[in-house]
């Protein structure tokens, strides 16, 4: 399978314990974090900030749904398609516990934004 490499990506802190790779400029990172934390959209935002916010919301939902995971080796949020089959076994957890962990993690983010 062909994986597209993009060397313009930077690693940013999405929330405590979760990093992501993104091309977004620094000015749009707060909107991305806001969407991931579950905050409502700001009606004064530009289209790019709204798009960043929407991406954050989609990533949060994908993490909750198990479509994305936080890779244990580097704490980067990745699609489950990006991890090997042997790694996938280590991510099989009790989803009730996982969801409460995510709620606590996102709750802490709301206090620090």
For the chain, the average pLDDT equals 80
- The pLDDT of residue 109 is 44
What would the mean pLDDT of 74-93 be, rounded to a whole number? 74
Residue 106 CA to residue 46 CA, distance in Å, equals 24
Distance CA 59, CA 87 (A): 20
Residue 37 lies in a domain: yes
Compute how many other C-beta atoms are within 10 angstroms of the C-beta atom of residue 11: 12
Helix axes 29-37, 47-65, angle to 10 degrees: 40
> What is the CB neighbour count within 10 angstroms for residue 35?
24
| Rounded mean pLDDT, 10-31 | 95
* 1 inside domain: no
Q: Give me the number of domains the chain comprises.
A: 1
Residue 3 lies in a domain: no
Q: Specify if 4 maps to a domain.
A: no
Q: Taking the complete model, does pTM exceed 0.75, yes or no?
A: no
């Amino acid at each position: 399978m062909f994986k597209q490499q993009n060397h313009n990506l930077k690693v940013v802190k999405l929330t405590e314990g979760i990093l992501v790779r993104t091309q977004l400029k620094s000015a749009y990172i707060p909107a991305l974090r806001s969407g991931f934390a579950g905050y409502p959209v700001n009606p004064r935002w530009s289209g790019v900030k709204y798009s960043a916010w929407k991406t954050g919301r989609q990533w949060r939902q994908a993490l909750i749904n198990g479509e994305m995971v936080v890779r244990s080796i580097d704490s980067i949020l990745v699609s489950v398609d990006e991890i090997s089959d042997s790694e996938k076994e280590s991510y099989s957890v009790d989803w009730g516990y996982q969801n409460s962990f995510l709620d606590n993690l996102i709750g802490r983010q709301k206090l620090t934004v």
